[in-house]
Amino acid sequence: MMISLNKHQTGKEFIKEMEKTYGSIKELEKKFKIINKMIYHVDLEAWKYHKDNLDETIDRTTSIITDSLTIGEIEIELLTTIKRKHPESIRELARLVNRDISVVQPKVKNLSETGLIELKEGIKNRKTPYLNYDEITIAI
């Protein structure tokens, strides 16, 4: 199964993401000189371009190939709820979808391990589920 994660963002949002990932454009340039990876080159060129084109819209796609994920009705409901309601914890997500935490927890863990969602550290060691994409396309 191939899953495409699509994200729409402006040049300004892209630069914020790059700053979060690399710190600064200078840090990325240093990294690229030391480790000549294609991803560093692509990110560096895109950063330079979008520095002068902050309002331009970008469509970014990440692809995941997996045979280990089963996407059913519950997973779709979890993804939709995470995107629309922004729960602060997995327990809150379970409450929002009216399901027991023992059902939701392993499904969230699997979605996170596959890369469909991120789990961020929340208050009091809570894990906050986060969906950073606008569209998910599944090809079977």
pLDDT given for residue 19 in this prediction: 95
What percentage of the chain carries pLDDT values higher than 90? 68
Domain boundaries, the chain: 2-64, 68-134
State pLDDT tens for residues 24-80: 999 999 999 998 889 899 999 999 999 999 999 989 888 888 887 788 899 999 999
pLDDT given for residue 139 in this prediction: 84
Domain 68-134 has CATH 1.10.10.10: yes
Tokens of 96: 């929002």
Task: State the Cα–Cα distance between residues 46 and 75, nearest whole angstrom.
Answer: 33
pLDDT given for residue 62 in this prediction: 86
Q: For residue 128, how many C-alpha atoms fall within 13 Å in the half-sphere facing its CB?
A: 12
HEC secondary structure over 84-111: HHCCCCHHHHHHHCCCCHHHHHHHHHHH
Question: What are the CB-based long-range contacts (under 8 Å, 24+) for 33-39?
Answer: none
